[in-house]
């Protein structure tokens, strides 16, 4: 054997989807991206993602599930948890004790939430006070158009749904920034200190009520407009859940249109493939479940996050309805924690360890462990499970790569994997590499998104 043959036989080289597949596959990926773009624009918040996903599920014959109801093979159900977290499942033909195949992605993204008493007036302008949600680089959110989404609950319990800034005829909102001419002192501060959270105030008005200047008349005018449109008063903000997100639409990026720019790829870029993968199954062998979780960006706490007992409750109910022991079902279940990874960025090469960082367009990323500083807080998936998944993806021709989130001791991050693994369910992270993760406008590669879809489908059928 000459050196070239031996190298081919023994060495592992990462190759891109473009190198490993053909034009037909790339075309399919570009087609798939159209549906994804529509999903992104319709689902900018966790509530909107739940609503849109339910519509898509209903169109495929999924029905609402009530805890305790009987189940049989072929049944397709969804469980809407408080309009912020969604479970979908399809009952397989195999005995339930063979386990459930679970795909778990999250549908919340970093954003700016309104405080309970948000409205004030100063300097001829009215503003909203915010408290940011999730990990953001604050400087990225100023001087950019924002839209307002969410729900206001009146004291009689009736909800008012809000969505302003997405329609081209809507106004948008804005965070003021300092002009460079006066920015010399700010420029000397470290990036993380130059934009304190209390300066992320949203510009919402400047016209006084009845044209009269004087105390609070701009604030009053703003509230009068909100009363006319929504019938709400300032007090109703006390019981609202309002989120400011970038007002941009999803667009292709680059002359070749091979990348997608959008708000909220993390983690809709995994939620959409996980969702469309389960919607495509009709009579699967394994029972399948897709989880679209809330609150991942704030630590998965609360009754709509993955630390909630609801996942266990649903597995218990499904198991018992089909005559299985829930502990056996969990023991034999397998989960893909479907979440994004970083993509190597040559503009910030120092932050990455190139040999072990996911590369853009090299396929879906299998992340054995996350965590930070000595793998702290990671679910480090065992080699047997990772090896099983490798075989599944290889046999299905899925283009995949491994990945680690940045350099050792350079940062790190977590996912929902450990919360699911703690229930005695085999779990590993699998997702799409992202450029500028958590920025108002993030970038992914169309071919990676499609490989994620193919991976979730292969996992469901294996
Ligand atoms: Mn994520
Ligand atoms: Mn994130």
Model confidence pLDDT, tens digit, residues 8-65: 999 999 999 999 999 999 999 999 999 999 999 999 999 999 999 999 999 999 999 9
Alpha-carbon distance of 417 to 339, in angstroms, equals: 9
Distance 132 CA to ligand 1 centre (A): 16
Picking from 293, 392, 377, 277, the residue whose alpha carbon sits closest to that of residue 334 is 392
Distance 364 CA to ligand 2 centre (A): 17
For the chain, the maximum distance between any two Cα atoms, rounded to a whole number of angstroms, is 90
Checking if the pLDDT of 372 tops 80, the result is: yes
Distance 339 CA to ligand 1 centre (A): 5
Ligand at shortest distance from the CA of 293:
1
Distance 413 CA to ligand 2 centre (A): 8
- Band (413; pLDDT cuts 50, 70, 90): confident
Q: List pLDDT tens digits, range 373-385.
A: 899 989 999 999 9
Distance 7 CA to ligand 2 centre (A): 38
Average pLDDT over residues 262-268: 98
Distance 118 CA to ligand 1 centre (A): 28
Distance 267 CA to ligand 1 centre (A): 5
Distance 324 CA to ligand 1 centre (A): 33
Distance 168 CA to ligand 1 centre (A): 29
Range with lowest mean pLDDT among 98-102, 156-160, 278-282, 407-411: 407-411
Q: What integer pLDDT is reported at residue 286 of this predicted model?
A: 98
Average pLDDT over residues 122-151: 97
- Band (357; pLDDT cuts 50, 70, 90): very high
Average pLDDT over residues 261-290: 97
Distance 458 CA to ligand 2 centre (A): 25
Ligand at shortest distance from the CA of 416:
1
Average pLDDT over residues 433-448: 98
Distance 431 CA to ligand 2 centre (A): 12
Q: Which residue has the tokens 């807080």?
A: 377
Q: What integer pLDDT is reported at residue 318 of this predicted model?
A: 98
Long-range contacts of 246-252 (CB under 8 A, 24+ apart): 246/144, 246/145, 246/146, 246/147, 246/440, 246/441, 247/145, 247/146, 247/147, 247/165, 247/166, 247/172, 247/173, 248/145, 248/440, 248/441, 249/41, 250/37, 250/40, 250/41
Ligand at shortest distance from the CA of 133:
2
Distance 430 CA to ligand 2 centre (A): 14
Strands (E), 173-299: 174-175, 202-205, 240-246, 251-253, 259-262, 287-293
Q: List pLDDT tens digits, range 172-230.
A: 999 999 999 999 999 999 998 999 999 999 999 999 998 777 789 999 999 999 999 99
- Band (390; pLDDT cuts 50, 70, 90): very high
Distance 108 CA to ligand 2 centre (A): 8
Parallel/antiparallel/unpaired status of strands 287-293 and 159-164: unpaired
Distance 382 CA to ligand 2 centre (A): 24
In this structure, which residues have their CB less than 5 angstroms from ion ligand 2?
266
For residue 284, the tally of other CB atoms under 10 A from its CB is 19
Q: What integer pLDDT is reported at residue 213 of this predicted model?
A: 72
Checking if the pLDDT of 245 tops 90, the result is: yes
- Band (110; pLDDT cuts 50, 70, 90): very high
* Exposed/middle/buried for residue 379 (C-beta within 10 Å: 0-12, 13-18, 19+): buried
Ligand at shortest distance from the CA of 436:
2
Q: What integer pLDDT is reported at residue 210 of this predicted model?
A: 85
Distance 297 CA to ligand 1 centre (A): 7
Distance 389 CA to ligand 2 centre (A): 24
Q: Which residues of 237-269 are buried (b: 16+ CB within 10 A; e: fewer)?
A: beebbbbbbbbbebeebeeeebbbbbbbbbbbb
Average pLDDT, the chain: 96
- Above pLDDT 90, what percent of the chain? 95
Distance 145 CA to ligand 1 centre (A): 23
- Band (410; pLDDT cuts 50, 70, 90): confident
Checking if the pLDDT of 150 tops 80, the result is: yes
């Amino acid at each position: 054997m000459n050196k070239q043959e031996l190298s081919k036989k023994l060495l592992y080289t990462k190759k891109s989807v473009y190198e490993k597949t053909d034009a037909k596959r790339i075309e399919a990926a570009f087609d798939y991206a159209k549906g994804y773009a529509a999903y992104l624009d319709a689902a900018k918040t966790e509530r909107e993602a739940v609503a849109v996903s339910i519509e898509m599920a209903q169109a495929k014959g999924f029905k609402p599930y009530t805890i305790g109801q009987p189940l049989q093979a072929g049944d397709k159900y969804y469980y809407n948890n408080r309009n912020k977290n969604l479970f979908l499942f399809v009952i397989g033909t195999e005995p339930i004790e063979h386990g459930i195949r679970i795909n778990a992605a999250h549908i919340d993204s970093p954003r700016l939430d309104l405080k309970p008493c948000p409205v004030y007036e100063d300097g001829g302008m009215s503003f909203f006070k915010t408290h940011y949600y999730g990990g953001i680089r604050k400087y990225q959110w100023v001087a950019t158009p924002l839209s307002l989404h969410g729900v206001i609950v009146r004291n009689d319990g009736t909800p008012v749904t809000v969505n302003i800034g997405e329609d081209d005829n809507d106004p948008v909102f804005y965070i003021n920034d300092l002009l460079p001419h006066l920015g010399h002192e700010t420029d000397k501060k470290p990036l993380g200190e130059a934009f304190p959270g209390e300066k992320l105030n949203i510009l919402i008005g400047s016209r006084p009520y009845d044209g009269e200047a004087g105390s609070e008349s701009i604030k009053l005018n703003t509230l009068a407009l909100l009363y006319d449109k929504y019938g709400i008063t300032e007090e109703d903000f006390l019981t609202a859940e309002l989120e400011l997100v970038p007002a941009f639409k999803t667009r292709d990026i680059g002359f070749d249109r091979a990348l997608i720019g959008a708000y909220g790829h993390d983690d809709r870029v995994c939620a959409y493939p996980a969702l469309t993968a389960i919607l495509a199954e009709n009579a699967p062998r394994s029972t399948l479940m897709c989880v679209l979780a809330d609150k991942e960006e704030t630590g998965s706490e609360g009754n709509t996050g993955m630390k909630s007992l609801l996942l266990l409750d649903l597995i218990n109910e499904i198991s018992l309805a089909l005559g299985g022991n829930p502990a056996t079902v969990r023991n034999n279940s397998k989960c893909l924690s479907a979440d994004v990874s970083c993509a190597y960025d040559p503009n910030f090469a120092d932050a990455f360890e190139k040999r072990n960082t996911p590369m853009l367009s090299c396929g879906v990323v299998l992340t054995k462990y996350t965590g930070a500083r000595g793998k702290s807080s990671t679910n480090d998936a065992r080699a047997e499970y990772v090896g099983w998944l490798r075989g599944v993806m290889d046999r299905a021709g899925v283009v995949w790569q491994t990945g680690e989130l940045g350099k050792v001791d350079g940062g790190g991050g977590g996912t929902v994997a450990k919360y699911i693994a703690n229930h005695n369910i085999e779990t590993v992270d699998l997702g799409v590499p992202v450029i500028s993760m958590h920025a108002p406008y993030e970038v992914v590669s169309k071919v990676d998104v499609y490989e994620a879809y193919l991976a979730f489908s292969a996992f469901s059928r294996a």
